[in-house]
């Protein structure tokens, strides 16, 4: 009887390594495309109306997904915490970001400000969650802050109010993330995300009625951008993110978000013909390096 030597299975297109190599860049491109779709959408309809439409349709779709998968729905105090998280992470974040884009701020700059979320979380996590900030993170805060300052100062002539709105959206995202980590970690991801959208939709809808004149200037552009934002950005990237989190480390997945500002700027140039000044490009690069350093652990 001869001894048989175990041999590793051949690498195919379906192997985990090859699949991860395909999914990671696909996720970055699809996530970055949300800012480009928002540019087309806010040109067709008022920004808060677009935000409301996104939340309403995505909420219904994710509710159906949660029901079909028999997800456990949050109740009682947990439900209240999930609602607060949704208002911060969805209504405040995207309402402010879409308003900033509607005021002419480039998608790459908005993506760069959103990319500072790990910095905001680290600053808030210290007093709220008791987490320690490392020297590398403090260095990242300095480099990233310098990059954002360059990118933002260079865009003040475009929209000063848009820059303020960007940081309002960033604050909503950062506060919502820390609040969720502190109070709502026990909620099912699918059902809680559906609650996020369903809670944020009426709030943004009322704001749209009070602050805007609801109108659709281009139904084709509105329908196409809404379909992309809902199906690709709200559902598709959500499924890809969950798949990657099951197969890879959270830190490895989180590092992908450091690429979104530059990829967004590239997509804006290719699709919208939107160019950036050299100072803004330098700010994007420095901001990416800073956020990458800030996201490192001890």
Closest CA to 37 of 288, 238, 235, 230: 230
For residue 217, the 8-state DSSP code is S
| CA distances to 22, 23, 55, 294, 295 from 189, in Å | 24, 20, 16, 26, 23
Residue 14 pLDDT level (bands cut at 50, 70, 90): very low
- Burial readout 199-231 (b: 16 or more C-beta within 10 A, e: otherwise): bbbebbbebbeeebeeeeeeeebbeebbebbbe
Which range (37-41, 45-49, 125-129, 144-148) has the least confidence? 125-129
What percentage of the chain carries pLDDT values higher than 90?
37
Continuous segment of H or E residues that includes residue 129: helix 117-129
pLDDT at 15: 47
What percentage of the chain carries pLDDT values higher than 70?
79
pLDDT at 130: 62
pLDDT at 274: 72
Q: pLDDT, tens digit, for every residue of 170-204?
A: 999 888 888 888 888 888 888 998 999 999 999 99
Average pLDDT, the chain: 81
pLDDT at 252: 54
3 state DSSP class of 241: helix
Q: pLDDT, tens digit, for every residue of 251-281?
A: 456 566 667 777 887 888 888 777 777 877 7
| CA distances to 76, 88, 130, 250 from 297, in Å | 35, 26, 14, 12
Residue 253 CA to its chain's centroid (Å): 13
CB atoms within 10 A of CB 127: 9
pTM: 0.80
Asked if 107 and 34 touch (Cβ cutoff 8 Å), the reply is no
Per-range mean pLDDT, top range of 12-16, 20-24, 91-95, 248-252 = 91-95
Task: Please give the residue that has the higher pLDDT: either 107 or 14.
Answer: 107
**d(Cα 83, Cα 53) in Å, to the nearest integer?**
18
CB atoms within 10 A of CB 142: 12
Q: pLDDT, tens digit, for every residue of 146-172?
A: 777 776 776 677 788 888 999 999 999
What are the boundaries of each domain within the chain?
Answer: 28-294
**d(Cα 153, Cα 179) in Å, to the nearest integer?**
30
Segment 108-114 shows an average pLDDT of: 81
pLDDT at 249: 53
Q: pLDDT, tens digit, for every residue of 200-226?
A: 999 999 999 999 998 999 999 999 999
Closest CA to 240 of 53, 29, 13: 29
């Amino acid at each position: 009887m001869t001894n048989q030597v175990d041999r590793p299975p051949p690498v195919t297109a379906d192997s985990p390594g090859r699949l991860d190599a395909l999914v990671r860049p696909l996720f970055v491109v699809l996530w970055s495309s949300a800012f480009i779709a928002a540019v087309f959408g806010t040109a067709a309809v008022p920004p808060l109306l677009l935000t409301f439409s996104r939340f309403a349709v995505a909420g219904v779709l994710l509710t159906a997904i949660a029901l079909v998968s028999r997800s456990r729905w949050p109740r009682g105090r947990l439900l209240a915490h999930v609602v607060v998280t949704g208002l911060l992470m969805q209504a405040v974040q995207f309402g402010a970001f879409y308003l900033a884009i509607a005021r002419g701020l480039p998608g790459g700059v908005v993506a760069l400000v959103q990319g500072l979320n790990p910095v905001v979380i680290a600053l808030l996590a210290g007093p709220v969650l008791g987490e320690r900030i490392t020297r590398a993170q403090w260095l990242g805060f300095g480099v990233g802050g310098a990059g954002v300052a360059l990118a933002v100062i260079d865009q003040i002539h475009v929209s000063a109010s848009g820059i303020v709105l960007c940081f309002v959206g960033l604050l909503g995202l950062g506060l919502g993330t820390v609040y969720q980590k502190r109070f709502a970690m026990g909620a099912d991801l699918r059902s809680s995300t559906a609650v996020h959208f369903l809670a944020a939709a009426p709030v943004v809808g009322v704001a749209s009625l009070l602050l805007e004149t609801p109108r659709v200037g281009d139904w084709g552009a509105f329908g196409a951008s809404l379909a992309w934002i809902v199906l690709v950005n709200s559902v598709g990237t959500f499924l890809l993110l969950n798949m990657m989190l099951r197969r890879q480390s959270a830190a490895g997945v989180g590092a992908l978000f450091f690429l979104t500002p530059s990829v967004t700027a590239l997509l804006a140039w290719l699709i919208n013909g939107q160019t950036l000044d050299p100072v803004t490009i330098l700010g994007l690069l420095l901001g990416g390096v800073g956020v990458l350093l800030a996201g490192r652990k001890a």
